[in-house]
Structure 1
């Protein structure tokens, strides 16, 4: 690797770090004779996780950090005085292959600023992944960002070589997107999303007739929203996510806490740091919709438009609906068991399976991995005392569950204060 390429790598890897929609799950492609790499490797610079929990490393890089847009929230905006760099197609292809052969990476996450116009940039990105697949026979994981406003022909070609594609929504509402990025609109984002979805559905139909038909974006698509740069409530964000998840091709919505990289721009809020707690709560709410059978309007509504930052969304819902509890673990259906705080998807399935062979008690539930500190107030079973959310109040129970855990010796110290030696 020559010095010029190394310098570009430093600049463009730094510019790529703010994109969090870096996923490596959803596809399985084993190594074949004559190819290089696979998507099912073990250990392997950016770390992502597959659906089965394995950690893999991806080269997270931009083709260029030059950009024709002047988005207020972006470090790579046109008006910023920062170091700029652009890879040639050959440089980026060679870099990926070299890193893979040295076992630094197991795949590529490719994004880019927009140079000249969306199609000009997209065409070069497509050439990168096409050369990796067709010339170097690279069989590893590739996640490619689709450029908003790119033509359907280029999106369709990219889908033949990428495992996953993503188009960032960035700002949840059109009005606020226009405020911070006047040159962009949601139409240019939703259009390539539709192209990807159409390609995936067509590929599925074609493969039913001809098994050898190439798979189109087999790991689906994802998107990202910036949280905290504008005044959207959590209700706005979660409802939009729920609508996106209704698309059969959408696999993940990512939430990126706003990082104040351009503090001089008066359109942006003044924040000391990124709203990481809010970001975490949004991911928990997203999880409830994807795996716990919650609807968006159950998590947030007009009365509670924002998530509680002190407790997780599932516990918040349970405290707002004490009439639904306690749940009899030995009789309740799977959907209701899923709604008990402290019980996860695997534990809920294990409960339903295990109770066929006998009634479950508290010690058995603990062995299943249930967080009894939370769950004990919302369930009943053979050995649990009848002290539930209905014997106290949701407010008092919230206090019990959120107060800091006492350190060992605190009680003794308190007794010494009250009754000194």
Structure 2
């Protein structure tokens, strides 16, 4: 078989990387400086194989080259399209090829960094060495200062994972599935205790780096840098029978136990020649969306997991309405909330009001009494909040008690069908 060209490899390995949600994509306009008959005016592109958009630790949206080192794999995780028994086109980059692609894309202003993952080849240690060598070459030989996110391998030597953290802005270790029993069933070569031990090792090094940074003035020495963007993970949803309650339970354990920056939820994608015990259809995309919303409530809106669990039916989040609205409808007695008097933690409970809107509202009410027109200027979703609030000139009256309040905010059936 003829050797694959670099472009052929990029097409295969960029496409294979799309299943990893840990590099979050953000919406943007489609534009490019390259025309069909030559270059246009300007630099850069939002298009191209393997380019995704993610957020840096300081909140900037950045473009990353997102690829696998290889989609060959010695593991046979049944939910993975790149498993050893899968009949897919295979390709493998050399270390120098990934380095050159990253530098070429960067110089053309297509990207600002690299997201690198890989299938397992030869052994976890060998693969991790290759991943680390890409980052080392970029950092030390080419003085690359762009953003690097490395997907690490929990079965690899902890020293290799530590070295990855020294070179990367963020590292991640996939927890794979919500339940240990599911992982044992679908991916017998992997172990949840091994995964969590690797996460714990990263957390310890993050804590050490943070302590060194705090003591830098005392020690008068430059503290070591270790993954300043922290660590994240990914969970596949819909491959096993785990409920949303199960998934959020695992997420809260990961956040509290390992100090994760983010848990990503990735809807299972059916594939050819799949095991019969895997679902034949993809779970509703709206389920993934609702899990992210619930995750946000737990992390930034001061909700307890038990409050989210109570809003589920048979352990599943409502697909028609968001989890904050579901909670509010179950606790109507706590509304309406006076936006001019309520503390921040109560304002965060109001459907339609995000954390940034609440902060702007609190700032504004220091200078004036908030009226409904003021709230409408502060947020585009004031209509959703109206049944649950009172302002200086507005009371919801009987609106909060209407029987069809839920239906008022649920999408029409045809719109919901598009998200399934």
After TM superposition, the score normalised by the length of structure 1 is: 0.86
Change (3 A) 1:214 1:377: same
Contact 2:311 2:323 survives alignment (8 Å): no
Counterpart check, 1:315 vs 2:325: yes
Contact 1:334 1:348 survives alignment (8 Å): yes
Deviates more, 1:349-358 or 1:117-126: 349-358
CA distance in 1 between counterparts of 2:405 and 2:20 reads 39
Match of 2:353 in 1: 343
CA distance in 2 between counterparts of 1:151 and 1:404 reads 52
Counterpart check, 1:397 vs 2:402: no
Show the 5 A alignment for 1:26-45. 45=50
Match of 2:41 in 1: none
Match of 1:252 in 2: 262
1:358-414 Cα shifts (integer Å, max 9, x gaps): 321100110111522211100112221342554334xx2102222649xxxxxxxxx
CA distance in 2 between counterparts of 1:213 and 1:389 reads 58
CA distance in 2 between counterparts of 1:286 and 1:303 reads 14
Q: Measure how far apart 1:122 and its partner are.
A: 0.5
Show the 5 A alignment for 1:32-71. 45-50=50-55, 54-71=60-77
CA distance in 2 between counterparts of 1:46 and 1:321 reads 44
Match of 2:372 in 1: 362
Counterpart check, 1:205 vs 2:211: yes
Match of 1:15 in 2: 16
CA distance in 1 between counterparts of 2:130 and 2:10 reads 17
Match of 1:215 in 2: 225
CA distance in 1 between counterparts of 2:242 and 2:128 reads 30
SS at match of 2:126: helix
Match of 1:295 in 2: 304
Show the 5 A alignment for 1:365-376. 365-369=375-379, 371-376=381-386
Match of 2:177 in 1: 171
Change (3 A) 1:386 1:205: closer
SS at match of 1:377: helix
CA distance in 1 between counterparts of 2:155 and 2:412 reads 50
Counterpart check, 1:286 vs 2:291: no
Deviates more, 1:332-341 or 1:83-92: 83-92
SS at match of 1:259: coil
Match of 2:362 in 1: 352
Match of 1:229 in 2: 239
Contact 1:226 1:255 survives alignment (8 Å): yes
Q: Measure how far apart 1:5 and its partner are.
A: 2.2
- Structure 1 unaligned spans of 5+: 26-41, 406-421
Measured on the aligned residues, the alpha-carbon RMSD in Å equals 2.3
Q: Measure how far apart 1:303 and its partner are.
A: 6.4
Change (3 A) 1:389 1:59: same
Number of aligned residue pairs: give it.
Answer: 386
CA distance in 2 between counterparts of 1:75 and 1:342 reads 39
CA distance in 1 between counterparts of 2:228 and 2:374 reads 40
SS at match of 2:90: coil
CA distance in 2 between counterparts of 1:332 and 1:349 reads 12
- Structure 2 unaligned spans of 5+: 27-43, 414-420
Change (3 A) 1:57 1:43: same
